[in-house]
Every structure is written in C-alpha cells, then in structure tokens.
Structure 1
Amino acid sequence: MRNRIVAVLVAMVVGVVLLYGIPRAYLLADLVQDTERRETQRSADLVAVAVEERRSGGGEVDEDFLGSLLHGGESITLGQADGPEVRVGLPPTGDSAGDIVAVRALADGSELTLRRSEDLVGQRVSDALLPLILIGLALAVGAALVVRVLAERLSRPFRELAGVAEAIGQGRFDQTIPHYRVAEAEAIGDAMRRGISRLGELRRRERDIATNASHELRSPISALRMEIEDLASWPQTPPEVAAELTSYLPQLDRLSTAVRTYLDTAQQQRLTDVDVVDLPALVRDALTRWRPRVRAASGPALVLVDEPARPLHVCASGSAVAEILDRLLQDAVDRRPTHVLVEVDSQDGFGRVRLELEGEQAPAGSEARAAATLTAVGMGGRVSVVDGHTVVMLRRAGEDVQGENDS
C-alpha cells in the first residue's frame, strides 16, 4: 500500500511539473530567441552608425576597427562599393541557416551584415532553460520525499493492523489494538477488537468443553454400564431380562468409544491446526511480546543466546507453540532470575528450546509448566527439566530431517 501511494502521488507531481514545465520551456525558448533577434538588430544599428561616423571623420574602416565592435559568437561583413569586402569574426564556413542576420545599407552604397551564431543563441536558450529544469527536478525529488513520509504515516496503521491480524491468525488473542486518527483504520481496529473478544470467548469455551466433556460424558456412560451390569446380575432379574440388558452393553461400549474418539480428535485438531511452523521465528515472536512486559515490571533480561542459521520446522500448531512458550516464560519470570537465556537447536529429530535461568531466587511453579507439558504432549512433544533448566522438545518436520540426513 505504501509503495502504491508513493508511486501514484509522485506520478501526479511529475505529471503536473511536466504539464507546466514543457509549455513554459517552449515559451521561454521563444522569448530568448526574440530577445536575441532584437539585440542583433540593435547591434547592427550601432555598428552602422559607428562605421559612418568613422568614415565621416576621415578614418579607415578596417578589420581592427570592426573587431572592436564585435561580440563573441558574431561576425561582421562590410561590402564596400569601391573596395574589397572586409569580414571579421566567424569564418564564412561557420555560417548556418539558423543564424540571426541583420543587414544595413550605408549612405555610401556599401552594405553591412551582422550575423549572430546559431550556437550562441542555442547556448543562451539552454542557460535560460537550466533553472527551469533544475526547479522541476527539485520539485520532483522533494515531492517524492514528502510523499514517502506521508505514505509512511498513512500506511502505518494498516501495517500494524496487518501484523495484529497475523498474530490473531496464529491463535494469539491477547493483542492490544491501538486507536488511530485515520477513520478507516479506526473502523478496522474496532471490528478487530470485537472479533478478538468473540474469538477469545469461543476459544475459552472450546477449552472448557475439552476439559469438562470427558468427565461430563464418559462418567455417566460408565456409571450406566455398571448399573446395567449390576441389574443383569441380580438374582431377582429373570434370565430373559438379564440377557436383554446384557445385549445393551456393546451399544454402550460403542457410544463410549465414539465419545472418546470425538474428544481426542477435537483436541488433536486444536493443537495441530497448522502442520509445520518455524520454531526460531515463534521463539523470537514470544521474546518480542514478553520483553516490554518484563521491562515494565523490572523483571529479568530475556536473551536469545543461540538459534539455527536456517529455519527449524516442527510439526505443531503456531498458537499451541506460542501458548507453551508463554506459559514457560511466565513460569521463568515468576522465579525472579536476573537473566533468562534462551537457546534453540535440534536434537534426535526434535526441535528444542532450552531456557536457562541465571540468579534464580524462587522455587519453580507447577501450574504453568504442567499446562505447557500437557499441550506439548498433545503434539507429540514434551517438556522436561534437565539440570535445572526447562527444555521443550517438539517433533521436527519430516522434510527437514530427511534433508539433513541426505546432506
């Protein structure tokens, strides 16, 4: 969007400059040429007067005298009725059809010709047009700079909203959307705030269902099965009724299996809604989100000490990985260390994120780590503690592992 705004506005400015500058250049060139013609005519008049005065005083009109009346880029030719022609200035071979020529007839019958070179006129036209061209270029460059600044300011809200939308698409609904003075951006921001609220509520309900549905559905089915088995085994129950009750048990087992399969599938789809993600990129995003919070609370420094030189893809959901990292960073910050050193690497077909705490002052919590462990296990990974440091292991994408094996 920003580049398009810059291109459109700069094109408009350049178009306006050209629409004004080209006609102005033609007018200016005509004005310079008219001025040169008038000056040539005046110069011819002055030379003619000087020649006649020279002759009336008894002086000789020679090349030296005519040369003293000459300017650069001009030639004077004096054709005498009773003598040879006298010429000073440009050689005859330098005459051009585009030269400005002024001819004067003198009283003694001789003819005076003053010629101003076409090259001189063209040079003066160029000198007159140069400021106009420079002003046009300066306007174009200045407009490009001003337009770029304006485009940056106009597009900034939409670029920020695009980043927020990308984060929401990855399942992070804790985004803060600022308010903007641009009406269109503010309208989009309002719609996204309402959408985040609704999506967050839906996600909370989904988690509640995933957490409670197992107990709310499986427990009654198991209790009903036990009741039917007890009723079928009572001595007072006729054999025909007991056999009928026993025939209901396979249907209950099928119902229990269907419920368990549905809940497991829903949980797996929630955790693995994205097949492959770049683990270092998610770690960088998590640290970027947490640094302002930790800095505001005078917490520890979050340092990414090592990461792979190329992408490290894992089979996981971006939202689930972000949730794991958020919980583990919260757990690490709660232990009040001085530094949290984060390392990303790969080991045995797993992408690994290692959190090392320096200056730990409080014992490790259990709730955040347990929740992170549950999420990681659902994606085929794990969260463990090695030498007092928290390590997240997630299964690597098959193509990456195969590429490393081939190399």
Structure 2
Amino acid sequence: MRERLTLSFVLVTLGLLVVAGLVRSVALDGMQREREGEHIFREATTLAAVVEARQERREVIDAAFLDDYVGADTAIVFVPAPNGDGGDRVEVRGPAYEPGEGEISSTVTLDDGDLTVRQSADAIGGVFRQDVWSLVVLFLLVGVVSALIGFAISRALSAPFQRLAVAASALGRGRFDLDLPETRVPEARAISEALRTSAVALRDRLEREQAFSMHASHVLRTPLTRLRLELEELALDPELPEAARSAVVRGMSAVDEVNEVAGELVSLSRQGLIGGEQVPLRELATGSAQVWADELADLGRGLTAAVEGDLELTFTPGPIEQILDLLLRHVVRHGTGDARLVFEGDSRGHLRITVGAARLTSPREELLVEEARSVVEALGGRLQSDVGDDTGIDLSVLLPRR
C-alpha cells in the first residue's frame, strides 16, 4: 500500500510540474518574443536612421555597408523604392541566421526604400535548449523530494490500516484483546470500531455459551446420575426377581449411554465456541516460547521451555496467545531470574500450561492473573495460582481442546 501511494504521489507531483512547466514555457515564449520584437524594432529604427543619413549624402547602400551592422543570428534586407535611384535590393545574413517559420522581423519605411531586420527563430528556442539539463536536474530533484514526502505521507496513512490488518488476523485466530490504532482517518476509525464491536461480541458469546454448557451439563447429568444410583440400589435388592434385575441392569447401561451422549453434546458445544485456524501443539509451543524468550532476553533473563504429551494435538492459537501474553506481563512485572514454561497435551485433548518464576514483588492484587483467569474461564478452563507463596510464581492453566 505504501509503495502504491508513494508512486501515485510522485506521478501526481511530476504531472503537475509538467503542466505548470508547459504553461510557464508558453508564457515565457510570448514574453521572450515580445522583448526580442522590441529589440529588433529599436535596432531597425536605429539602422534606418543611419541608412537615411547615408542616402542624404548620396552614398550607395550595399552589402559591404550593411555587413558592419548585421548580427550573428540576424539578417538585414534593404529594398530600394521602385522609382528611386537607391540601387539594387541588398540582403546580408549573419553566420548563425537560419530563415524559417517563427522568425521575428521589423520593417521601417524610408523615403527611398524599405529596411527590414529579421532575427532567426532559433534564437528564442536556443534559450530553452540551453536549460535542458537544468530542467532534467529540476525534475530529478522534485521527483526525489516528492518521493520522500509521499513515502512519509503514505506511511502515516497506511500505518493504521496495517495495525487493523494485524488486529483482524488476531480476531480470526480467536483473540479479542485487539491492539486497535487511535487515528483520525474516518475509514480506519470505522473499521476499528467494527473490529472492537466484533471482539466484544465474541467475548460475550463465549461467556454466554460457556454458562450454557455448564448449565446444560448440570441439568442433563444430575438427573441421570440420580437415576443410575436408584437403579444400582434397586439392582442390589436381594428380593428382586432375576428378570427384573436383568431389566434394571439394561436400564443402567442405557443411562450410561445417555450420560455419554450428553457429555459429547456438551463437549461439542464447548468446542464450537471459537472457530478459526488450528495449529499443532508443537508449533504453538515453539512460537509462544520464542516470544517469551525474546521478551525476557531484553531484561537479561532466561527461559526454560518444554512441551510434553501428544504434540500433534491442534488448538486455536488466539485465546492461548492472549492468556500467555497476560501471564508474560505478570512474570515480567513481578518476577525475577529465569522463567519456566511447560506445555502438556493429554490424551483427552486437554492442554495444561505451567508457568513458574522467582517472585520479585508480592502484589496485593493479581490484576493480570485475574484478567487471564476470566479469559480461561470463558474458554471453559481453569487457572490455578499459588498466591500465598511470596518466593515464587506458580501458575497452572488447564484448557479444553479447541
């Protein structure tokens, strides 16, 4: 985007410069012709006075006489009057004079003839041709300056949209703590507000559906568990006929099947809370550990990371990255020394993340941890922290498969 804006700015600037140059050249050409015309007129008038004085002395007007007055790019023509005795038509040319369209001329009528002074059209064109390299340098300079200005303007205009693209990608990955730009560009503000609204709606949906899943699990499983206990108690009755006992056992099996189906339905509802791209645990752990290592390295601290269990389990990375960012800020702010980060995927598809570090300060309120806990609970997981230990940070996150 920045390259296109910069190129557009340069093209518009050069285009305006070309148009302005053409208009200016036409104006300068007219002014130059007007000045040259006045100069040729004065030259013709002065020379006419000299010719007229020579005629009064009865001297011949010939080429030898006019050669003393002709310029390098001019021509002088004297045409005697038809009824006079001024001699023949005389014309002398300067070495650089070239007749053609666009030449400037001035004619003075005398008693014994007409005197005309002409100037080559190339005299005016040469003024512009002499400045060709100056124009080239000017165009290059203007092009470079406009490119720099265009790059600065395009960078300022495109920066909010680049941040919006990153925020949209994060939202697509399941994150709703979006880093949205503060800008005065109306289009960017509209997109930013739309993304913010979508993120809030996503979080509200997560919380509602998580509450629904917990309620559905309780409503479905509690009666089934109570029914199974009653069937077990009935099956243990020694006075129960064998046929009835067999029916009770079959009923218990049916209750177990219904209970299993209810669990699968609740699990499916939880898994459908967040969609988007899923990545293997190995890739997720590697990327997150690299972020932690870079952040801690800037503070002169190290990181020990490990990944255990089923490394091919897939998870939606956005929510996990959001939780880890909050925990990383907590470790950076309140921890000291090297940190420990362990990922573990179990056979049921659950993910456990363990964070440990030596404690530097003991805050009264674990704001970042509480914020992370709210995100974890919205995802159907839980976060355990040992807040009573003043010597170390010990956090454990358990998340269902996403």
TM-score category (smaller protein): 0.5 to 0.7
Match of 1:258 among 251, 256, 261: 261
Tell whether 2:86 aligns with 1:87: no
Report how far residue 199 of structure 1 moved.
1.9
Match of 2:171 among 168, 172, 188: 168
1:13-28 map, 5 Å:
22=22, 25-28=25-28
1:229-308 map, 5 Å:
229-239=232-242, 241-266=244-269, 273-276=276-279, 282-283=287-288, 286=291, 300=299
Report how far residue 40 of structure 1 moved.
2.5
Match of 2:368 in 1: none
The answer to which of 162-171 and 174-183 deviates more is 174-183
Report how far residue 120 of structure 1 moved.
0.7
SS at 1:75 equivalent: strand
**Alpha carbons of structure 1 residues 271 and 135: separation in structure 2 relative to 1, 3 Å:** closer
The answer to which of 262-271 and 164-173 deviates more is 262-271
| Structure with higher helix content | 1
Match of 2:44 in 1: 44
CA distance in 1, matches of 2:302, 2:60: 98
**Alpha carbons of structure 1 residues 49 and 131: separation in structure 2 relative to 1, 3 Å:** farther
Contact 1:77–1:113 under 8 Å retained in 2: yes
Runs of 5+ consecutive residues of structure 1 not aligned to the other structure: 306-312, 343-354, 380-407
**Alpha carbons of structure 1 residues 279 and 104: separation in structure 2 relative to 1, 3 Å:** farther
Q: Give the TM-score taking structure 1 as reference length.
A: 0.60
CA distance in 2, matches of 1:82, 1:286: 103
Instruction: Report the residue type matching 1:230 in the other structure.
Output: E
Report how far residue 29 of structure 1 moved.
3.0
RMSD, aligned CA: 5.3
CA offsets 1:171-191 (integer angstroms, 9 cap, x no match): 222235465444554454444
CA distance in 1, matches of 2:355, 2:242: 67
CA distance in 1, matches of 2:95, 2:336: 91
CA distance in 1, matches of 2:355, 2:335: 12
CA distance in 2, matches of 1:233, 1:18: 102
Match of 2:100 in 1: 96
CA offsets 1:273-325 (integer angstroms, 9 cap, x no match): 4234875995499559x96xx99xxx9457899xxxxxxx9954221541564
Q: Give the TM-score taking structure 2 as reference length.
A: 0.61
1:97-246 map, 5 Å:
97-104=101-108, 107=111, 112-124=115-127, 149-175=152-178, 177=180, 179-207=182-210, 217-218=220-221, 220-239=223-242, 241-246=244-249
Q: Percent identity?
A: 25
Match of 2:73 in 1: 73
Instruction: Report the residue type matching 2:254 in the other structure.
Output: Q
**Alpha carbons of structure 1 residues 228 and 261: separation in structure 2 relative to 1, 3 Å:** same
SS at 1:260 equivalent: helix
Contact 1:32–1:125 under 8 Å retained in 2: no
Runs of 5+ consecutive residues of structure 2 not aligned to the other structure: 81-85, 305-311, 342-353, 361-389
CA distance in 1, matches of 2:238, 2:340: 69
Instruction: Report the residue type matching 1:99 in the other structure.
Output: E
**Alpha carbons of structure 1 residues 76 and 339: separation in structure 2 relative to 1, 3 Å:** farther
CA offsets 1:244-274 (integer angstroms, 9 cap, x no match): 4333223212212213333444555668842
CA distance in 2, matches of 1:61, 1:115: 18
**Alpha carbons of structure 1 residues 133 and 41: separation in structure 2 relative to 1, 3 Å:** farther
Contact 1:331–1:365 under 8 Å retained in 2: no
Instruction: Report the residue type matching 1:201 in the other structure.
Output: D
CA distance in 2, matches of 1:63, 1:338: 105
